[in-house]
Amino acid sequence: MNASEPDIRSQVSDAEWQLRCELACAHRLVAHFVFCDLTYNHLSVRCPDNPDHFLVKAQDVFMEQVTASNLVKYDLEGNQVAPSPWKAAMSAYNIHGAILRERPDLNAVVHTHSPANLAVSAQKHGLLMLSQQAMRFHGQIAYYPYDGDDATRDGATRLARAMGDKWLMILHNHGAVVAGLNIPEAWIQHHFLELACRAQIGALAGGSALIQPSRELCEERVRMFGRLGLYDASSRDWVAGRALVEKLYPDHRS
């Protein structure tokens, strides 16, 4: 930390600092495994001390540069509520704030524009059940038509309401949103969505006839893996992910 930077650690509760470290870790993991869209992709989480506040990435940093200290805090109406030299992009606090405002049952949100999910978002048929990763999302996906206004408060509210009771949404010509009860869950499910999208683009590009799994098989995969509450901080993928970040990117805790 530079001498001119505030000591965020001393200004927040232990629970919030732990959550800040967890959210910074998740940003590093998305950056490590997924091709991100410069500074424009974000993860957010509801604050433990006030469910009407959330943490989100600052606008001037890549995911690879997110730390516990440079995350910024907003309320669900889009107002920055804690002193900080950083601020979030309007699209970030509007979209993430709207989803958390409209869905009090959700606590964490991942929104990305990867080449794979952008490609699927441009296909009329949406996500196809071509892989076991995709099958976990059978019947669980909301779709939202691109109107060019989703970064504004009103547009973000329409986007959030279009999710209905789903926790995953593909935004036509825009990207994807994956939410969860906690950061590990949102990150893990987003990772499987990314794999499903990559597999779909590869399979369609191959030009051969495709093997379509049965509806019964897809429904069984959903019962096993396509529900909220499946993952948390004890999940093996998150435990392994945190160990990777601690080894490669220990500065995320600064």
Report in angstroms the alpha-carbon separations of 48 from 11, 45, 120, 189.
Answer: 15, 9, 34, 22
Give the tokens for residue 162.
Answer: 């279009």
Mean per-residue pLDDT, 179-203: 98
Provide the residue count of the chain: 254
Strands 175-180 and 108-112: antiparallel
pLDDT tens for each residue of 2-60: 434 568 888 899 999 999 999 999 999 999 999 889 999 999 999 999 999 999 999 99
pLDDT for 40: 93
d(CA 101, CA 51): 9
Q: What is the pLDDT of residue 151?
A: 83
Question: Which domains are seen in the chain, by residue range?
Answer: 8-253 (3.40.225.10)
CA angle 27/66/160 to nearest 5° reads: 55
Confidence band of 149 (pLDDT split at 50, 70, 90): confident
Average confidence (pLDDT) over 168-186: 97
Q: What is the pTM of this model?
A: 0.94
- The 8 Å CB, 24+ separation contacts for 49-54 are 49/13, 49/15, 49/16, 51/104, 52/76, 53/81, 54/96, 54/97, 54/100
* pLDDT, average across residues 225-234: 94
pLDDT value at position 230?
Answer: 95
The amino acid at residue 17 is W
Of 8-12, 189-193, 235-239, the least confident: 8-12
Q: Tens digit of pLDDT for each residue in 102-130?
A: 999 999 999 999 999 999 999 999 999 99
Q: State mean pLDDT over 166-181.
A: 97
